């Protein structure tokens, strides 16, 4: 973890400009080609959700701007970011989870599956007041539908600068399996250029054979 020296930071004017907005967040929706990743996950009998979530958080950690957070009057760059994701239950409710990041998929997936089991065997939202980490990305999924836009519920008085990433339903077009992904970020920390870098990293990881 490091603290950014704002006096010499190349984004200082951008940060000062956007931080004065009542709503400094912006978001985009894009498509990820899942064709190869889905085949690999299924051939290994791995959960596709676990597989693409791991690839996504790996891509987040490759882009420094996605690891920046505002803490009080400081800007912190975390060394590592973890996924905090919603998990659904059979009764239609959901709960929040936290899974420690690990570069090794099997280690990461063991932690994620443990969290999923805890959700399935509990009720309620599983969110303790004041138990909000800053070194996370907030993930959710809408696996029943595709989408072309997305908004989030927000507390404007709450100091929250973690990106929010949402995945949609996988669909087929021209023999490709695609999935919508919505990315919502604080514009004082992240620009469209950095989202594009993240998406490029994500797509490259989804196309890997490992």
- Decide: 135 and 61 in contact? Cβ < 8 Å: no
> Tell me: the pLDDT tens digits for 96-143?
999 999 999 999 999 999 999 999 999 999 986 445 789 999 999 999
| pTM of the complete model | 0.95
Would you tell me the crossing angle of helices 105-120 and 48-61 to the nearest 10 degrees?
120
What tokens were used for 14? 């951008």
Phi then psi for residue 170, to 5 deg, are -70, 140
Domain that includes residue 126, residue range? 2-207
Q: Residue 63: give its domain's CATH number.
A: 3.30.559.10
pLDDT of residue 128: 63
Q: Which residue has the tokens 């999924």?
A: 141
Report pLDDT for 97. Answer: 95
Count of structural domains within the chain: 1
- The answer to whether residues 67 and 4 touch, using CB atoms and an 8 Å cutoff, is no
pLDDT value at position 129?
46
pLDDT at 156: 67
Residue stretches of the chain with pLDDT short of 70: 128-131, 156-158
In the prediction, which pLDDT does 158 show? 65
């Amino acid at each position: 973890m490091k603290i950014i020296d704002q006096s010499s930071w190349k984004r200082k004017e951008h940060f000062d400009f956007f931080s004065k907005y009542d709503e400094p967040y912006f978001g985009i929706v894009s498509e990820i080609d899942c064709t190869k990743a889905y085949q690999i996950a299924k051939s290994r009998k791995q959960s596709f959700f676990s597989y693409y979530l791991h690839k996504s958080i790996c891509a987040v950690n490759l882009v420094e701007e996605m690891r920046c957070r505002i803490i009080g009057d400081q800007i912190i760059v975390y060394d590592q970011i973890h996924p905090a994701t919603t998990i659904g239950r059979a009764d239609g409710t959901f709960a929040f989870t936290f899974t420690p990041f690990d570069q090794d998929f099997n280690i990461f997936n063991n932690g994620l599956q443990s969290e999923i089991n805890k959700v399935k065997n509990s009720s309620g939202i599983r969110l303790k007041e004041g138990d909000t980490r800053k070194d996370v990305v907030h993930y959710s999924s809408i696996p029943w539908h595709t989408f072309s836009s997305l908004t989030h519920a927000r507390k404007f008085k709450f100091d929250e600068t973690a990106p929010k990433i949402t995945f949609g339903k996988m669909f087929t077009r021209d023999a490709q399996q695609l999935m919508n992904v919505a990315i919502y970020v604080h514009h004082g920390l992240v620009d469209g250029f950095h989202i594009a870098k993240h998406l490029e990293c994500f797509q490259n990881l989804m196309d890997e054979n490992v």
